[in-house]
Amino acid sequence: MASENVKALTDADFGESVKKGVVLVDFWATWCAPCRRIAPIVDQLADEYSGRATVAKVDIDANPMTPSKFMVRGIPTLLLFKDGELKETVVGLANKDDLAKMIDKHL
């Protein structure tokens, strides 16, 4: 089950949504097998960091502008924003501990 704490972002509200605080964004698509592997980790992070950091997703099929703007040319890609500024880029698979450490660094 997808976590309710993961916010689905769109091209329309992306800029506004990453403006404040620490926001981890998972770029994904339904047809991307590795994305399905990282999804449960993203869900767990969303639950564990609820209230401290925002965890969000962008479906790249429905929202092509945002990945293009950030030059995302492979998925899964995770971008971490702090107060609107891009701080970290993780391409491909990653384990939960490393991602948690990365979020902690910016909190």
Partner 1 sequence: MSERPVIIIGSGPAGLTAALYAARANLTPLVIEGIEAGGQLMLTTMVENWPGYRDGIMGPDLMTELRAQAARFGAEIIQGDVSSVDLSKRPFTVTMGQTQYLAQTVIVATGASAKWLDLGVDKKLSGRGVSTCATCDGFFFKGRPVAVIGGGDTAMEEAIYLSKLATSVTVVHRRDSLRASKVMQDKAMSMPNVSFIWNTEVVDIKDLDKGVVTSLVLKNTQTGVSSELAVDGVFIGIGHVPNTALFKGQLALHDNGYLKTHEGSRTSVAGVFAAGDVQDHIYRQAVTAAGSGCMAAIDAERFLSGTLHQAAAAHV
So which residues are the catalytic ones?
Answer: 32, 35
Residue type for position 18: V
Q: CB count, 10 Å around CB of 105?
A: 12
CB of 32 to partner 1, least distance (A): 5
Angle at 88 between CA 60 and CA 67, to 5 degrees: 20
Binding site for partner 1 (CB under 8 A): 29, 31-35, 37, 40-41, 60, 67, 71-75, 77, 89, 91-97
CB of 25 to partner 1, least distance (A): 14
Angle at 102 between CA 100 and CA 105, to 5 degrees: 110
Of 21 and 88, nearer to partner 1 (C-beta) is 88
CB of 20 to partner 1, least distance (A): 26
